[in-house]
Amino acid sequence: MEAQSSAKMNSRKRRKDGPNGTADGGIIPRKVPRHTITLSQPAPFSDELEVDYSKPYVRVTMEEALRGTPADRPVRVYADGIFDLFHSGHARALMQAKNLFPNTYLIVGVCSDELTHNLKGFTVMNEVERYDAVQHCRYVDEVVRNAPWTLTPEFLAEHRIDFVAHDDIPYSSAGSDDVYKHIKEAGMFAPTQRTEGISTSDIITRIVRDYDVYARRNLQRGYTAKELNVSFINEKKYNLQERVDKVKRKVKDVEEKSKEFVQKVEEKSIDLIQKWEEKSREFIGNFLEMFGPEGALKHMLKEGKGRMLQAISPKQSPSSSPAHERSPSPTSFLWPFSGKGSPSTSPAHHSRSDRGAYDISEDEED
């Protein structure tokens, strides 16, 4: 059971590689341990190596090559090309050729400028630059300079080649429908896959399509119009376009900065409005708490009014206190300005006197 579960986990981690070593279906590739397998020296040229021709040249079969050969007898695979503007498509093709068999010695032939210009067309890089580019590819073990356009039996025997690697598309050139036809018939052809979307022709097409852009780019980097084969009028046109583009970039930068400034102002204004709303709610709440119908001010006024009334009104005498008795006036008292000896003792006079006394007692009570 454990073996089955581990096998399932490994099958989930295993990625399905396409013809160019790319993962299909969006599966995350499995991580591998980190180790250094790069070389510290470029690949040597074939004319600089010593070859022991005393040993006979015997080709290995496809079955023997796939099964694996001894360490001192690697399978010698040959791949040729122009390799102008060396790019990832070239590197991937050489990687496939290097990994055709368990023990592979990869020989790469690069055609010269004269042969390429006559049979295919003009190159961007000269032959020395193309030789050097192939030399520094990590998959290459040996480089053949001035390689032939069509492989002859003598060339295959000289370099002791077992198999020739190239894509399976017929390559028509030099008056032939397929220059690798005789190699395929001899059973020495090992097909590889092309990398779609990248080629020397595609790169040149991009440059030609955007010629003005790259011409202006190199003028700005210090190249002269003579070096770029640009006329005087075009040079001035490119300089004017570059100035216009600089102004556009500045305007765009100003617009972006102004947008950022406006955005910051809006954010700050929103914050200020929110703070103002919070403060206004707090102020209104405090105002209502102080001056509302049931606010603190009303209670303060009530308390103040009660204290004022308490302070103004005098204290009433207790009801149990004895009443003040009025002393009767002596009957023998004579009014100083009265001609008569005594006041009138008539009932009316007494009633008026009683009312006056009653009024006085009410005033005192008030």
Do 219 and 190 have their domain in common? no
Strands 163-167 and 189-192, by their bridges, are parallel
* Residue 92 reports pLDDT greater than 80: yes
Other C-beta atoms within 10 Å of 187: how many?
10
The domain containing residue 162 runs over which residues? 46-198
Q: d(Cα 207, Cα 210) in Å, to the nearest integer?
A: 5
Do 193 and 136 have their domain in common? yes
Which two tokens mark 242?
Answer: 């570059």
Mean pLDDT of 253-258: 86
Q: Is residue 153 part of a domain?
A: yes
Question: How many residues are given for the chain?
Answer: 366
Q: Give residue 26's region: left, alpha or beta (phi > 0; psi -120 to 50).
A: left
* Residue 215 and residue 190 in contact, taking contact as beta carbons nearer than 8 Å: no
The residue whose two tokens read 């929103």 is: 270
78 or 329, higher pLDDT: 78
Other C-beta atoms within 10 Å of 336: how many?
5
CATH number at residue 147: 3.40.50.620
The residue whose two tokens read 């914050």 is: 271
286 or 115, higher pLDDT: 115
pLDDT, one tens digit per residue, over 279-308 is 888 888 777 777 767 667 677 777 777 777
Banded pLDDT at 268 (limits 50, 70, 90):
confident
Q: What is the pLDDT of residue 313?
A: 73
97 or 245, higher pLDDT: 97
Which two tokens mark 48?
Answer: 């600089």
The total domain count for the chain is 2
> Apex CA 152: angle with CA 150 and CA 158, to 5°?
125
pLDDT, one tens digit per residue, over 166-176 is 999 988 876 78
Q: Is residue 361 part of a domain?
A: no
* Residue 47 and residue 159 in contact, taking contact as beta carbons nearer than 8 Å: no
Give the three-state DSSP class for 176: strand
Q: Is residue 279 part of a domain?
A: yes
pLDDT, one tens digit per residue, over 1-42 is 444 444 444 443 334 444 444 445 567 767 756 655 667 899
Weakest-pLDDT range from 48-52, 139-143, 234-238, 251-255: 234-238
Q: Is residue 20 part of a domain?
A: no
Mean pLDDT of 214-232: 87
Do 69 and 191 have their domain in common? yes
Assessment of whether the complete model's pTM goes beyond 0.75: no
Do 80 and 188 have their domain in common? yes
Weakest-pLDDT range from 31-45, 171-185, 215-229, 335-349: 335-349
Do 192 and 51 have their domain in common? yes
Q: Is residue 327 part of a domain?
A: no
Q: Is the dihedral of CA 6, 9, 11, 13 positive or negative?
A: negative
Helix 200-209 to helix 211-220 angle, to the nearest 10 degrees? 80
Weakest-pLDDT range from 206-210, 309-313, 319-323: 319-323
Q: Is residue 1 part of a domain?
A: no
**Cα atoms in the Cβ-side hemisphere of radius 13 Å centred on 293:** 0
* Residue 358 reports pLDDT greater than 50: no
Q: Is residue 15 part of a domain?
A: no
Q: Is residue 125 part of a domain?
A: yes
Closest CA to 107 of 69, 88, 89, 81: 81
